[in-house]
Structure 1
Amino acid sequence: MTVPLVVESSARLPDGMGGFRQSWQEVGRIWAEMRSGAGGERVAALGTQSVVTWRITVRAAPAGDTRRPRPGQRLRLGEGAQARRFRIDAVAESDPGGRWLVCIAQEEIPA
């Protein structure tokens, strides 16, 4: 586990005009091992995007702990404009003892 990641959850915040905007808030910090998987391309609202699937292994945290990743959250590597973000699609225990979790995540990179 050599890669430091930040676990982020989505939050709806009032936009001051009666609506809401999506914001991401840090809920924990973890260490991980990352392995890239299959990649592809898709058409998005702003053009073509390269999409890479990642297999991210982390030490398990107890259920309910904010450091335990869940689908719908994302993991951030780095800070600021240079940060990379990985949307978590699925999480599963990787061993019978439940000591490790595997997150299947997608990194989206504008082409």
Structure 2
Amino acid sequence: MPDGAGGFSTSWVALGTLWAELRAGSGSERRGLIAPEGRMLFRVYLRAASQGSPQRPRPDQRLREGGRIFTILAVSEADPSGAYLVCHAREEVPA
């Protein structure tokens, strides 16, 4: 959305509620401006939706659990039958 000063601001809108299983993945540490910063990746398992369906999560979306926010990095089928999806996500840490 235009911010009125020549720039843009981003806002998020809830699209629905999902059942999901959250599993911690790999973590890493990198050098930050002031101190080392940790980075944790997660796998979020949920019921499948077909390619092109508006119910299927996309990498430009986020998932939320209470106050925790997860940026979706990639989405793939979690099992051969296609009953579940796995969203590879990174937890956002407020600055």
- TM-score interval, normalised by the smaller of the two chains: 0.7 to 0.9
TM-score under structure 2 normalisation? 0.81
Structure-2 separation of matches of 1:48 and 1:54: 20
Name which of 6, 15, 28 aligns with 1:27: 15
TM-score under structure 1 normalisation? 0.71
Aligned-residue offset at 1:28: 2.0
The Cα RMSD (Å) is: 2.3
Instruction: Name whichever structure is richer in strand by fraction.
Output: 1
Structure-2 separation of matches of 1:103 and 1:43: 27
Higher relative contact order (CA 8 A, sep 6+): 1
Q: Alignment identity in percent?
A: 51
Aligned residues: 95
C-alpha contact 1:92 1:101 (8 A) present in aligned 2: yes
1:58-69 to structure 2, matched below 5 A, reads: 58-69=46-57
Aligned-residue offset at 1:45: 6.6
